[in-house]
Structure 1
Amino acid sequence: MGLLGKMLLLFGLFQSSVWIISVSGNPEFAINPYSDFTIHINRSTTSQLNCKVCIKNSCQSSVTVSKSTNVVFTCPQPEDVFMVEIVRHIVCNISCNGTITPEDVPSIQNFNRTFTWNVNVLGHKAFHLDFTRAGLRQIQPKEQCQDKHIYTVSTGKVTVGKFCLYGTIKSIQVLRKGSVSLQVPGKQQLNTASFGVSTASEITSPAIINVILPEEPSWQDFYSPNYPESFPDDDLITWAFQVPYKYYSTVHILNYTIPRCETKDTRMEYQLYGRTMVKKLSEPQLSEHQGSFNLSLQNCNVDTQSPFTRLTLHFQISAVRRGNEVRCTVDLKSEKGLLIHIMKKEPKSDCILKLNSLDQNTATITSQKITYVSFIDCQEENLLITMNKTIVCQQLRDCPYPESLRVPVLDKCIIGVVQEVRWILQGPQRGTVELLSSAGNLQQLLPGQICKDTVIFTVSENEAQGITVGQFCPQGSIHKMQINATNITVSALSTGEKNLRQITSSLLQVSFTKSIRESYIFTVLPKKDIPVLLATPAWPLGMKAYAIVSWFISFPTQLEAHVSFPNVSQLTCKNRPAYIKLQRKRSQGKMYSWQDQNPKDVVVSESFYLNMSNCLPVKGAFSVVSQVTLHVGKSVLLSIVLSVVGVLLLLTIILAAFCIIRKKKQKQKAPEVSVYNPNSHPFLPGLHDIPRETEDEDLHIYHYIDDHLVYGHLLKNLKEDEKPAVGVYRDFNGPTGQEPLTDESEGRGAVELQVGVYRSFTGPQSAPDVPGTLVKPGEILACEGEQKADEEISADDDQETLPNVQGKPKTEPMVA
């Protein structure tokens, strides 16, 4: 046999002569097959006709022809009753590498025919069926293909699947031996699409189906072997999916049944990135995965006594093109007590969040392990991050120093806005948790108030009731808080949409200390003229029964605190009443107490303790809002006023003494007199310049001067009877011992005045006063006013004036 004959023998290309001969009206076929194939003629089980096939004198419902034989049918149209199967056996001793091309025989084209190629590989190797040229598409058993050609691949008694041409399945690997069959209906022209057969290395699965997804959005259905019948007991099937670049695939389970297992479990195993991921059929499967992966279905050891013995699976693979993917490996092996929750802000957004290659709306990363997180088409604002950090202190000696509460540092590849950070503080038994603000004091927030800072702190007790101690904002007056509890939670929540991961400094300092008598102690450092609102823990719901809270209000001695109670709840107690006490820091005596009545405002002049204790409420709840405002004390104000008055009085005395001393010095000097000026301008000593003559001086020339107007002030010292009568002429009685001065125009005999010769003054003995508007150089103008003021004060010393104050008296708060 030549080379061509061997290839025909190996890959099922056969040639036979078939003649249809009519004998007594019955059709007769003459078949001359090659020795390497067998033809089976079988009557259809659905046919109702009593038709047989005969070889020589033997007539049966089915015959097998392996050599040249004449067959006769007992019915005129045997193609409606019988089916023809053409079987070819291929044995690969060492290797096989060839192509199988189906070839039809026109004479039997009217029969429903099946072409079968049985492949057997010696040893533990597998054979590879290559359908790269056309590809296959898996279908359900009763589904029909468009060209009416159905391929079936089997291994042993297991049907791997039924397929149509033109699909994404490019090859199938079968362990050791299996078969490929092609079913073609009668009168249908055969599609001679070829496929290759070759040997392959040993595989761990009975069959591997290799799928290459197209570079376009696609959806492909796949079924478990023997579907819809049960997958074999403790068996395995694998699909290998090759995904194009930038395409992301998702596994959707559409339908499944699971058996009751004696040992092992039914499961889905994913091999991706060199690691294995195991999922139950009831769990979410692989989603939005970039890159190739393998998917295996593993059956368990089925409990045959149970009615649930079937394992069936129908799933779908979808692939779509996405943008860039950010992959992040989060290594928290050395971290303790840290949980990172990443949540999609909008679950239906284009942002894809994956945890360990699974699409998630919320991903939780735990400490002490390595986690793989991926982000596809995600922006930072699409994801919200919440972190939990647990801090444990079992013995006080194990944690002697304060620990800083900071926002945990995240890897840069993790995308999202850190919205909240929670610290779970677990202290020792009979211990106290002490919180201290790292940057300034805290302000207690009441419902409705807005925090202007970037973060809000919430302190809660981790009990069954979940008691919230309160909410706090930076930039306040609460310096420290102590909580007598062993398990509390402190959360930092961002205001608005701000990102807490940008805060690198410490937010709070936490310490574990010895137990305190009260349930809560707050240290408050108020600022002057800024009201501070202090609410009882769990406000407005009310404190827990028998809880005690204390505020230590500390402030400087020159200030005083105005304490009021704007909001006090009403409650009914079962045994003892609830109370409010206020006590000074220095004095141990109780200065204010309230029981079952509305507390009144009080003024405290030094640092004090404000203590409140709840009862066992029968009706209502114990919740109080206090307000503390610091003002300057009245004694301090009085001392300030007296100091100012004293300083002003001292300055007045100094100024007055200065004026009096200066006045005395002025009186000891020689009296100033007027000087005669031949140029008709009298001037007084002390003027620095002689007035210049101008044309405007004529305005100051008087044509007539009344002597009484000029010298009238001299008359005030005269007695009443000595005052001259106004308007009555009297002769001049002045001195006459000297002749009056005359002018040269009156005569040559006039006596000429000698310059520089002393003569006695003949005018009035008292000179007129100098006008007050003339101020000599170096003289203080205010001295005269001071002198007058001194005269007025001395004149009023004997008379006291009281102001007339009217109005309602102001009610003052209780002063401590």
Structure 2
Amino acid sequence: MLTIKSGEKTDFTFSCHHPEHSFVMEIQRNIDCMSGPCPFGEVQLQPSVLPALNRTFVWDVQAHKNIGLELRFSAPRLRQIGPGESCPDGVTHSISGRIDASAVRIGTFCSNGTVARIKVQGGVKVAMHLPWFHSRNVSGFSIANRSSIKRLCIIESVFEDEGSATLMSANYPEGFPEDELMSWQFVIPPHLRASVSFLRFNVSNCEKKEQRVEYYIPGSTTNPEVFRLEDQQPGNMAGNFNLSLQGCDQDAQNPGILRLQFQVLVQRPQNESSKTYVVDLSNERAMWVTIEPRPTRQSRVFVPGCFVCLESRTCSANLTLAPGSKHKLSFLCDNLTRLWMNAEKTISCMDPRYCLRRPQLLQVPSDLLRLPVQLHDFSWKLLVPEDRLSLALVPAQKLQQHTHEKACSTSFSYLLASASPGRDLYFGSFCPGGAIEQIQVKENVSVTLRTFSPSFQREAPGQGLAVSFVPHFREEGVFTVTPDTKNKVYLRTPNWDRGLPALASVSWNISVPSDQVASLTFFKERSGVVCQTGRAFLIIKEQRTRAEEIFSLEEEALPKPSFRHHSFWLNISNCSPASGKQLDLLFWVTLTPRTMDLTVVIIAGVGGGALLLFSLGLIICFVKKKKKKGSKGPPVGIYNGNVNTQMPRPVGKFQKARKDNDSHVYAVIDDTMVYGHLLQDSGSFLQPEVDTYRPFQGHMGDCPPSPPPVCSRAPTAKLTAGEPAPCLPPESEDEPYTFSHPSTGEGHQGDTGSPLLGTQEPVEPAE
């Protein structure tokens, strides 16, 4: 170590080839401004000829505590850096002040910034570090005398164009001195706008006074404007402004730490900054709107800020609008596509008498559609009392379910998911342009409208869902589907990626027009589910014939492609599946015209006419012969009531069946009662009353099929119309008549007749 004092002349050399790796040099100069005049003006680097070592020049200026000293920095101006940061060129300035006998660090600065002046009260110490390879020969700043500034320091930041500056409180990241005042002055060109945002801050525990920040803003009628550190800070400010940080008297036992790091962003005003938008939530009680930045990748280059301002002054990158008030918004942003909007509204019904079957429209309010930022999500949380009410959703346009085979390509979709706590059930994503007319859900549900392009603003008038509170039902969801003849309808079970929840049941009510035939196809041959407890079923039930087909999804293959001539239900009921063996099914429905072969029609018509003529001749001859011979034989057409022709059906539907009374028993059926309908157009005699079988033609699609009870682990066979369902009592509502030849014994129990109407398998429509 070698020390050279003022007034001395010393010669020295180094014994090593690279002294810059082993030695540093500090040049310290004390400037006394207390006993005499201060040497104001530009500060020189002296001595001027020094070895190429890492050098630190220190200027310690001592002044009276009521004297304010000004450090003025010429180009390039300074940029403040935080702890652990370094300067690209290696040149740093460390500036400190004094409070009584204690040193206070004002900050550490690099070149190429906005800090033009620093005013310090009661003396200042400046240390400039130069690396050994830097050939700089000027200090770059000057000292001037000023009157008392009555605070610790003032930092002046000058902007000439768009840019940003990050600044910190004294002693950062340690605590700001107790009960002190520090200020920043910002010089902003009149054609630019400035916004302040606090990056990091902590507050101390105050015993007296209150810690706060104060703004002097041009044109403000309430200067100074006082804010807490927790508040949103002002933005969209035109012209110069001041910001001050005021400490408090801290608690001696638990003082805490007051510190602040903030950013000032200066940019050109956009067209939207002069416009004011109104969002009226005064009539809302459970609706929140949030405007925030889109997720983007960080960039090192300067990016202008994007702020939303409340009442044109309180600006921030994130803003949440609460219900019950009217909000006036403006935007300070170079590109409004960097922002998006999310909203949430809760609709609940706790009193079924008030809201049962009273529809409410789920539609985006017009105030939000008029904002210049894109709506990302609008979520409606629909709440119902448990086991008392369910929900029915009817879209303004029929919906399509999003699948990999047919993806949605519209500007928005509806996402349906359970909103009950602990319930992991996602019904799917749905968009306009499909075949789903209604979606019914059993419990609380969240409906989220998600947009994918700005064109939603134009298409928004066509969107909307009407929600109704309906009586409670058992299925997790019921989908009403009306396919058209042009498109294939793809449908899949909820929770596609995770599997249908355990013991959940979902139904599809699929309509088939009278002139069409529906083709039902499943994507795979087997479901792949493995049940840990219970059983999983697939039930297909035609609503006109009420014939049910039941398949065990764990043990049987899925149905082959089949044709359905009438509207039908499709129900999928899950068991408690084993881990990794979940239930997820994809199927599709297509419609084709119901046609017949012309040749078959002609042959059937010719054959039917010939048969009719032959029957008429035979009957006339038979009647004439009977009139001659008289009636000698026993009566024909005796009804046999002992034949079991009952279809399976639920118990208790009718208290008294037809078999329990005699209203359907004929002792004798005359020939004219049997064959008279063939002569009804001949005019030879009056038309008799004929008791014939007439199938039910009414609506049968009110309720989806219910899965059969679990009786055993035996395989479940496909049921036909003549077999009773396992563990179900016999039905008692459809009894076909059976005609047979008379027997000699009154107690005859045999069945020698044939059904009047035979069962017929569905045939594939002719191409």
TM range (shorter): 0.5 to 0.7
Is 1:515 aligned with 2:472?
yes
Distance 1:467 1:641, change over 3 A: same
Match of 1:618 in 2: 578
CA RMSD of aligned residues (A): 5.7
Match of 2:590 in 1: 629
Distance 1:645 1:303, change over 3 A: same
Distance 1:448 1:410, change over 3 A: farther
- Quick one: distance in 1 between partners of 2:297 and 2:597? 64
Distance 1:238 1:133, change over 3 A: closer
Match of 1:593 in 2: 550
Distance 1:513 1:360, change over 3 A: same
Match of 1:436 in 2: 394
Match of 1:340 in 2: 290
Verify the 8 A CA contact 1:158 1:225 in the aligned structure 2: no
Written as runs of structure 1 = structure 2, the 5 A alignment for 1:84-123 is 85-86=34-35, 116=64
Distance 1:398 1:347, change over 3 A: farther
Letter in 2 for 1:562: S
Offset at residue 332 of structure 1 (A): 4.7
Distance 1:546 1:116, change over 3 A: closer
Match of 2:188 in 1: 243
Match of 1:477 in 2: 435
**Residues 288-316 of structure 1: CA distance to partner in whole angstroms, max 9, x if unpaired?**
8655444332334434345x766566x57
Of the two, which has the highest radius of gyration? Answer: 1
Letter in 2 for 1:460: A
Verify the 8 A CA contact 1:152 1:162 in the aligned structure 2: no
Is 1:390 aligned with 2:335?
no
Match of 2:426 in 1: 468
Match of 1:553 in 2: 510
**Residues 592-622 of structure 1: CA distance to partner in whole angstroms, max 9, x if unpaired?**
1111311234433322222221111125122
Secondary structure (helix, strand or coil) at the match of 2:228 reads: strand
Secondary structure (helix, strand or coil) at the match of 1:326 reads: helix
Identity of aligned residues (%): 24
Verify the 8 A CA contact 2:520 2:588 in the aligned structure 1: yes
2:568 to 608, 612, 630: 608
Distance 1:640 1:513, change over 3 A: farther
Written as runs of structure 1 = structure 2, the 5 A alignment for 1:348-387 is 348=298, 350-355=303-308, 363-368=319-324, 375-387=331-343
Secondary structure (helix, strand or coil) at the match of 2:449 reads: strand
- Quick one: distance in 2 between partners of 1:532 and 1:82? 88
- Quick one: distance in 1 between partners of 2:79 and 2:589? 79
**Residues 368-420 of structure 1: CA distance to partner in whole angstroms, max 9, x if unpaired?**
45667654453344433333333333333443422222223346884323344
1:570 to 528, 535, 541: 528
Distance 1:101 1:632, change over 3 A: closer
Offset at residue 130 of structure 1 (A): 11
Verify the 8 A CA contact 2:118 2:153 in the aligned structure 1: no
Secondary structure (helix, strand or coil) at the match of 1:471 reads: strand
Verify the 8 A CA contact 1:218 1:320 in the aligned structure 2: yes
Is 1:404 aligned with 2:345?
no
Distance 1:247 1:367, change over 3 A: same
Offset at residue 518 of structure 1 (A): 1.6
Letter in 2 for 1:394: M
Is there any run of 5+ residues in structure 2 with no aligned partner, and where?
7-28, 42-59, 82-90, 127-141, 610-760
Segment of structure 1 superposing worse, 242-251 or 561-570 = 242-251
Written as runs of structure 1 = structure 2, the 5 A alignment for 1:615-764 is 615-618=575-578, 620-633=581-594, 641-642=601-602
Instruction: Answer 1 or 2: higher relative contact order, Cα 8 Å, separation at least 6.
Output: 2
2:158 to 184, 203, 213: 213
Match of 2:178 in 1: 233
Verify the 8 A CA contact 1:47 1:81 in the aligned structure 2: no
Verify the 8 A CA contact 1:383 1:415 in the aligned structure 2: no
Distance 1:351 1:417, change over 3 A: farther
Verify the 8 A CA contact 2:540 2:550 in the aligned structure 1: yes
Letter in 2 for 1:545: A
Letter in 2 for 1:597: E
Match of 1:201 in 2: none
- Quick one: distance in 2 between partners of 1:597 and 1:358? 66
- Quick one: distance in 2 between partners of 1:546 and 1:270? 63
Match of 1:533 in 2: 490
Letter in 1 for 2:192: Y
Match of 1:295 in 2: 243
Match of 1:727 in 2: none
Distance 1:83 1:420, change over 3 A: closer
Verify the 8 A CA contact 1:484 1:519 in the aligned structure 2: yes
Verify the 8 A CA contact 2:510 2:567 in the aligned structure 1: yes
Distance 1:167 1:398, change over 3 A: same
Match of 1:304 in 2: 252
Distance 1:82 1:545, change over 3 A: closer
Distance 1:529 1:154, change over 3 A: closer
- Quick one: distance in 2 between partners of 1:623 and 1:558? 32
Given the two structures, how large is their TM-score scaled by the length of structure 1?
A: 0.51
- Quick one: distance in 2 between partners of 1:192 and 1:583? 95
- Quick one: distance in 1 between partners of 2:502 and 2:205? 54
Distance 1:448 1:405, change over 3 A: same
Offset at residue 476 of structure 1 (A): 1.8
Letter in 1 for 2:536: A
- Quick one: distance in 2 between partners of 1:82 and 1:242? 31
Distance 1:377 1:534, change over 3 A: closer
2:456 to 499, 518, 535: 499
Match of 1:768 in 2: none
- Quick one: distance in 1 between partners of 2:174 and 2:350? 59
Offset at residue 631 of structure 1 (A): 3.3
Written as runs of structure 1 = structure 2, the 5 A alignment for 1:15-26 is none
Given the two structures, how large is their TM-score scaled by the length of structure 2?
A: 0.54
Secondary structure (helix, strand or coil) at the match of 1:491 reads: strand
- Quick one: distance in 2 between partners of 1:644 and 1:472? 48
Distance 1:292 1:638, change over 3 A: farther
